[in-house]
Each structure stands twice: as C-alpha cells, then as structure tokens.
Structure 1
Amino acid sequence: MSTLADDTLTGLLDGPRARGAFLLRSILNPPWSIRIEDRAPLSLVIPAQGDAWIVPDHGDPVQLHPGEVAIMRGPTPYTIADDPATVPQVIIYPGQRCVTIDGEDIGESRSLGVRTWGNNEGSAVMLSGTYQMQREIGQRLFGALPPVLVRPIDAGDSALVALLEGEMLKQEPGQELVLDRILDLVLVSVLRAWLASPGVGAPAWYRAQHDPVVGAALQLVHTEPAHPWTVATLAARAGVSRAALARRFTALVGEPPMNYLTSLRLALAADLLRESNATIGSVARKVGYSSSFALSTAFKRVRGMSPQEYIRQAATNPGSPIAAVS
C-alpha cells in the first residue's frame, strides 16, 4: 500500500509551495533573542552553527542543534534565542520589518550583504525561511503539525541544507526561484520523515492511507476529485460493500467519505478562486460541482462565507489562507 499512500500524500504536500519566500542568514553574538511576530503561516529555522532555543508563547522551550530543523506553524508569535531566559532585543513584524524592542527600525543597519543580517562575527549562524503564502489544499496537513516541530536532518538531506546556505549568499538571475525550490525540498523532506516516524502522533487520515480499503478510496478522490463519486461507487472500486466502506472510512479517517470529499473539493476551489482569471462557474466544474450555484451553496454551508466573500477577503489578505468557519 505504500504507493497508494505516497500518491495520496503528494496532493497534500503540494500545498507548501514557496513563492517568493523570505530567506535570511543571521549571524548572532550572545546574548541574543529575537521575537517573531510576522504572522507567517509557516517558517523554518536551521542552525548552521551554534545552538538555539525556540520559545513558543504557549508551551515549553525547545532546544535546536546543528543538524536539526525546526518548523513553526503560524500565525502564533514565538521567540528564538540563545537561551530561554534572554530578553528579546529585536522584534520582526509582518513584511519582515525588523525593529528594536524600543521601536527603532534596524533592518538596514544590521544588513551584512545578500540575505545576511546581524553581527559581522558571531557564535551562532541561523538560516530561516518564511513562507509568504499557504495554499488551502495543505491545511489538512498543516493542521496536524504541532506548533513547533524539531526534526533531525537526514544524512541524505544535509547536502540540501548546505546548498540552501550557499545559494542564499548569491544574487544571480532566477535566484529567488532556485531558493524557493530548495526550501520546498527541505520542508517536504522533514514533513515526510515526521509522518513516517512511529509514535509521533501522525494524523488519522495519514495512517488510514495504509489500509487496503480506505487507502484505495483516498487515492481515488485525490486523483479525481471532480468525478461524481458516491459512497457506492467508491466502495465498488475498492471492492467492498457500501456499508463496509462507510464504516471503515469513518473509523479510520474520523469523518464519512463524502464529508472528506467535500472538504477536499472546497479546498481545491478556494485555491482556484485566488487565481485572477477564475470564475465561480469554471472553478465549480473543475472541482466536481454542476454549477456555480451548487458550489456557492456548499462553500457557504461548510466555510461560512460565499465564494464572492472569500475572493474579496483573499484580495485583502494575499499572504495567508482565509480561515473557514467549521
């Protein structure tokens, strides 16, 4: 069943796609402490040299060593420091505006060249990548993450981190695209390893992908979300009765198959609605609804707003997904 699970997971891992991600190499001397209030949906921190502590607003501090990567799920603020007791000296706000605790803007004064910031010399070197946009299709995956996830970098991925640091210091044509793709590879590698590790609390929908019946149904809806699926047609393709699929799917995934399909379709629709040339009718057809009215009705019922309202809010909040009313 590994092939089915991998194929289904691919659609969710496609959600974290960097586009103009903010990347920074920070050189720091102790005592140092940086308060992060940028409301980014997802951030990565990799210590290239020296240790660090991630101090969430709620929860225990987590130590971070070279050879590890930390993923922070936003938009909740957190602090990164040389020691949990060090008082923040710098605050980073949305737009990566960097100020002292007294409000003095120091972004330019601390610049050390291409994507490098801090002190001329330091005992700690931190690589950070901040995602500016998070697609709706990845919400099921991101929602399963803890607020702070620290994972070791696999031996095979250490070259990726070295490549990321080297590319961060360059300023060549297409550099932003190169950095986005490397950052994506690091993120997906960490997420995939976390999901595959036993005892880490992987979400029910991920574990369900390894079931021969439910995994087959999940692959079908992720591969062809616009198909007019019913529980009966899914059951027939999976080789079981309608009642058996409904019972097994709900038990393993945590919701009935048609609820899961609706959530998937509406997440896909939300991403498509952000595109400038999209119409509600064209989006409806792409995700399996017969008309713009049918999509609008489902969107309003499940997400608490109409597609038109979603489009207006997306236009004013282009850097993050719009929260749905559950």
Structure 2
Amino acid sequence: MDVLSDVITVMRTGRPVAARVAWEAPWAQRFAPVPGASGFQVVLEGTCWLLRDHAEPVALRAGDVVFLPDGRGHVLADSPTTPPAGEACDPNAPGFAADHPVPADPTTVTVCGAYEPADVHPLLRDLPDTVLVSGPEPRAAATLLAAELEHPRPGSDALVPALLDTLLLYLLRAWFSGREHTTGWAAALTDPVVGTALHHMHRDPAHPWTVAALAAASGLSRAPFAKRFTALVGQPPIAYLTWWRMTTAARLLRDTDAPLAAIAGRVGYTSEFAFAAAFKRAHGAAPGRYRRLGSGT
C-alpha cells in the first residue's frame, strides 16, 4: 500500500459527512469551525467567494475544490460585500442540507462537508491552511458525489463515503503534483530514498526494521539516510515507524474483532505486553480499553 492511500485509510476512520446546497443571490453563509476535523467546499455550478479572517477574498468558480485541513471557520458568499445572515452552520449537524431548501432559481451550487478523523496523518499537517485545486478528476468525483447526495438510492450510504475518499485523494494528488516541493511530506513522497523507506514501512510495518535496514533498502548509508529522512518527514525513521504501527493498531482495534495478540503481531510486536505498553504511550489508553471506548461499551 502506498503512503497516499494510507492517508485516506487514516482519514476513513472518522465520519465523513457532506451536503449538496443550492444558493440564490444575494447570499452569504458562515461555516463554524470544526475542531479536529478537515473541511471542504466544492463549487459545482456558478461562482462564489471564499472569505477567511485575516486573508484576502478568494474567487471560486465551478470545478474548484477548497480543502481546509484544520477545519477553520470561513464564509462562502456571492460577493465579498454580502454580509452573512444568521448563525454559523455546521455541516456535521443532522439535517444540515434540509435546513437549506432548494431555491427556485439557484445561482450557485456547492457541496460542503467535513472529515472527523480519529487520527491525522502528518502529511495533512504539512498542508497550508487553505488548499485550492481544480481539474477534471476532482470535478468528476464531486459531480458523482453531488448526484448521490441529491438523489439517494440503494447503496448511497456506502457510495458517499467512498466518493468522499476519492475526492480527497484526487485533491491531494493535484496539490502535491501541481507545484515544486523541496521540503516536507510532498518532497518525501517523491524523494527516491525517503519515499522508498516510507513504502517499506507502510507495506510491512510488522518487519523488524532498524535504521540500518531501512537505509540499506533505500540505497543509502545509515547516517545520511537518517538525516535525510528526519529533514523531510519531520521525525526520525523509527519514531515515524512507531507512530504508523500504533495508528495501524488503533484502526484494527476499532474496525476488527482480531485478538490483541494478533494485532500486536501485525504491527511488529512479539510480546502482547510490550505492544500494550507502546499503545498506551501513544493513545493514552490500553488497547482493550481503547477498543471498548470505540465501541461505546
């Protein structure tokens, strides 16, 4: 599994929500911050403006996708001068779409929503506070998503989260491939040495990796490899490997009934006790309690 696919897997552990909303000018809607979540806006038809505190207004047109990794509050409006009316809305609130009936003559149609990830991949923390992309792939995913939201049919409950995953993946692809990156995760993914090491860690987290083994697999000697990996990823190789193992374990605890010993083995621990200690350091709860809390018991 490649690293970008794993980012989507981590995000998928949360609850993705979305709503298709039609607007009639003049209009302006404030969206409340969603702590711990990532928000997005997609312009399907017409034009509008993205307004954020302490930032210049951004003109949006059909096909544009805005991603807000930190879930910050913002305003969408038909004009930068139109004042928002009423309270800030929350796309996670039940009935959000129903609170916005379809106008007779809409001028703009958007899809808005948010991910509430249980874990946030460090790659997302490397993004700017507002990501704007456009292109045929995000637009196609957004169009399919909007159709399912507007006319739910059998299977929509499974299809909507999958389309949200697809939209996010296309967005990240467009962002990371659309510019020159010399530092951070974008550079790490394309770096032949660090990218190879990340691939090995994600493909086989249970392997007893050492810095020397990762360096050899990546074609570089130990010291230069460790320095290069840390500079791009932001933490040493084994620290990142431990984080990924614990993130993988948390997902398995939430999504499967696998015994703790089996999960420990899948993330590189031969001792269930050592696994439990490492997991508690990472997540603040023992694996068994973490699983019970996740199931609501």
Alpha-carbon distance in structure 2 between the residues aligned to 1:179 and 1:273: 24
Match of 1:87 in 2: 84
Report the AA paired with residue 168 of structure 1. L
Match of 1:26 among 4, 21, 27: 21
Q: 1:83 to 1:281 in 2, by over 3 A?
A: farther
Alpha-carbon distance in structure 1 between the residues aligned to 2:21 and 2:277: 48
For residue 266 of structure 1, give the secondary structure of its aligned residue in structure 2. helix
Match of 1:322 in 2: none
Q: How does 1:99-178 map to 2 (within 5 A)?
A: 108=98, 110=99, 117-131=101-115, 133-136=116-119, 138-152=120-134, 154-178=135-159
- TM-score when normalising by structure 2: 0.83
Matched-pair contact (CA < 8 Å) for 1:18–1:184 = no
Match of 1:275 in 2: 255
Matched-pair contact (CA < 8 Å) for 1:64–1:150 = no
Match of 1:245 in 2: 225
Match of 2:46 in 1: 50
- Encode CA deviations 1:222-267: one digit per residue, 9 max, x unaligned: 1101111111222232333323322332233332111111111111
Alpha-carbon distance in structure 2 between the residues aligned to 1:30 and 1:257: 52
Match of 2:8 in 1: 13
**Aligned-residue RMSD, C-alpha:** 3.1
Match of 1:68 in 2: 64
Q: 1:176 to 1:302 in 2, by over 3 A?
A: closer
- Encode CA deviations 1:121-165: one digit per residue, 9 max, x unaligned: 22222122433x4252x522322232321111x135533333333
Q: 1:35 to 1:280 in 2, by over 3 A?
A: farther
Matched-pair contact (CA < 8 Å) for 1:33–1:90 = no
Shift in Å, 1:203: 5.8
Alpha-carbon distance in structure 2 between the residues aligned to 1:248 and 1:74: 27
**Comparing both structures, which one devotes a greater share of its residues to helix?**
2
Determine if the alignment matches structure 1 residue 289 to structure 2 residue 284.
Answer: no
Alpha-carbon distance in structure 2 between the residues aligned to 1:142 and 1:210: 16
Determine if the alignment matches structure 1 residue 185 to structure 2 residue 181.
Answer: no
Alpha-carbon distance in structure 2 between the residues aligned to 1:76 and 1:156: 25
Match of 2:237 among 243, 257, 263: 257
Match of 1:208 in 2: 188
Q: Percent identity?
A: 34
Report the AA paired with residue 87 of structure 1. P
Alpha-carbon distance in structure 2 between the residues aligned to 1:190 and 1:126: 16
Unaligned stretches of 5+ residues in structure 1: 1-5, 99-105, 112-116, 317-326
Alpha-carbon distance in structure 2 between the residues aligned to 1:70 and 1:144: 16
Shift in Å, 1:54: 2.5
Report the AA paired with residue 31 of structure 1. P
Q: Mean alpha-carbon deviation: is it higher for 302-311 or for 63-72?
A: 302-311
Q: 1:22 to 1:218 in 2, by over 3 A?
A: closer
Alpha-carbon distance in structure 1 between the residues aligned to 2:91 and 2:48: 22
Report the AA paired with residue 61 of structure 2. H
Q: State the number of aligned residues.
A: 294
Matched-pair contact (CA < 8 Å) for 2:33–2:74 = no
Match of 2:93 in 1: 96
Match of 1:194 among 167, 175, 194: 175
Q: 1:276 to 1:184 in 2, by over 3 A?
A: closer
Match of 2:34 among 14, 36, 39: 39
Q: 1:169 to 1:210 in 2, by over 3 A?
A: closer
Q: 1:269 to 1:18 in 2, by over 3 A?
A: closer
Q: How does 1:289-308 map to 2 (within 5 A)?
A: 289-307=269-287
For residue 228 of structure 1, give the secondary structure of its aligned residue in structure 2. coil
Alpha-carbon distance in structure 2 between the residues aligned to 1:18 and 1:79: 27
Matched-pair contact (CA < 8 Å) for 1:18–1:181 = no
